Amino acid sequence: MKKYVLSISAGVSFLIFLILLLASNHMAQKQLSQQMAERWSEEKDVAQVSCFFSPNAGITKDSIEEFEHSMDQALLEASITQESENPGARLWADAYSADGRITLTTGRASLEADAIGIGGDFFLFHPEKLLAGSYFSGNDLMQDYCVLDEDAAWQLFGSNDVAGMTVYISGVPHMVTGVIERQDGRLASAAGLDSTLVYVSYETLELYGKNNGINHYEIVMPNPVSNFALNHVKENIGVEEKEMEVLENTSRYSLVSRLKLLMAFGTRSMNGKAIIYPYWENIARGYEDIIVLLTGLMLLFLLYPVILLLVVFIRWWRHKGWTLKDVWHWCRDWMERRMEQARERRKTLRSQRGVPKSEEEEIL
């Protein structure tokens, strides 16, 4: 009876391990802002790297452009070239953004809201759910565009179907290209998505809003060897280490990363740098903590059946009734029998073909 109880409990423990494994992997896959590398290339030869800067980092649009130029040269020196026949294909894509506040007005209402001023391919990295319209790019020639969240659209227009409508920012008309659904839930609210949010170009935020400076930069780029992309960004972005934090998003939810965080549990949240994370990084870190906790539970539930299997194996080994020496003798005898059978078959075959005995002996 005891054996049955142990077997059933081990099976249940392993089943719980599998459930926790699936749940943690599902949580990781839900973080679209962390999955840019997978969307960019199916070959797993690229990495997504994110930088977060303090207000004293001094990052500007010009310094980012300098880094972009150095990127092309670095890839060329590493013999990494574009092999796609598509003329529009790129080896890398990047984006930067700044937090701030901005006031938007329409004939219906005026609204001061949290704003993110974007540059580059921001919405490639952050594909927020669209309710209407489309995104805009920070690389567009014209920068008089904006994306509203659903709350802002209702306050300004009384509807969320407002793509193509015009809002005024400091009297300058800006076209609404799309309306997104703001993420909700406990983590999203705690991460900073508890109020109205709009997305404008970095130029618009810099000219007409309250701008806290560029404090986020992210890139997806070739990663021919482990940490190539991470180290290149760290060494060439032009900011002192104490004024920034750099991480590789591609591997942040891997088992190795989880185990490292598990070992650093209790200290990883300590931050001695004057860095304020954007909402997407706060959400990612929140899920990271949950996934690390699930990983710890996974290991505990896996440990129980593994220990039982080891106990069963040790008992079986002690009472097996044979030794490794017996196995060696058996294998040697088996090989000798096989060789003898092969010789007999060759001898019979030659006899059937009428091979003279002298030749047969020579052959054998």
Q: Which distant-in-sequence residues (6+ apart) come within 8 Å of 81 by Cβ?
A: 75, 91
**Structural domain containing residue 329:** 324-363
Q: Is residue 13 part of a domain?
A: no
pLDDT in tens, 201-228: 999 999 999 998 999 999 999 998 889 9
Give yes or no: residues 97 and 226 share one domain: yes
Query: Mean pLDDT score of the chain, rounded to an integer?
Result: 89
Does residue 356 share a domain with residue 209?
Answer: no
Q: Which of 252, 275, 293 is the last residue of a domain?
A: 252
Q: What is the pLDDT of residues 158-192, one digit of tens each?
A: 999 999 999 999 999 999 999 999 998 899 999 88
The answer for residues whose C-beta is within 8 angstroms of residue 169's C-beta and 6 or more apart is 102, 103, 104, 105, 146, 200, 204, 208, 209
pLDDT at position 79 is 84
Q: Are 204 and 144 in contact (CB under 8 A)?
A: yes
Amino acid letter, residue 265: F
Residue ending a domain, among 214, 229, 252, is 252
209: in domain:
yes
pLDDT score for 298: 93
Beta bridge partners of 95: 120, 218
Asked if 231 and 358 sit in the same domain, the reply is: no
Same structural domain for residues 208 and 73? yes
What is the separation, in whole angstroms, between the first and last Cα of the chain? 61
pLDDT at 73 over 80: yes
Q: Give a yes or no: residue 291 inside a domain.
A: no
**Do 232 and 103 share a structural domain?**
yes
pTM value is 0.80
Asked whether residue 88 is domain-assigned, the answer is yes
In a domain, 315, yes or no: no
Kindly report, residue by residue over 85-135, the tens digit of the pLDDT. Answer: 776 788 999 999 999 999 999 999 999 999 999 999 999 999 999 999 999
Dist. CA 169–CA 152, nearest whole Å = 14
pLDDT of res. 147 = 97
Q: Is residue 358 part of a domain?
A: yes
Q: Which of 193, 225, 252 is the last residue of a domain?
A: 252
What is the percent of the chain where pLDDT is above 70? 95
Q: 142 lies in a domain? A: yes
The answer to whether 150 touches 130, Cβ cutoff 8 Å, is no
The answer to whether the beta carbons of residues 239 and 133 sit under 8 Å apart is no
Residues 172 and 39 in one domain: yes
Residue 19 pLDDT greater than 70, yes or no: yes
- At residue 122, the pLDDT reads 96
Is 185 within a domain?
yes
pLDDT digits (tens, 9 = 90+) for 324-350: 787 888 888 889 888 888 888 888 877
Query: Do 180 and 65 fall into the same domain?
Result: yes
Going by pLDDT thresholds of 50, 70 and 90, the confidence category of residue 355 is low
Confidence of residue 39 (pLDDT cuts 50, 70, 90): very high
The letter for the amino acid at 343 is R
Q: How many structural domains comprise the chain?
A: 2
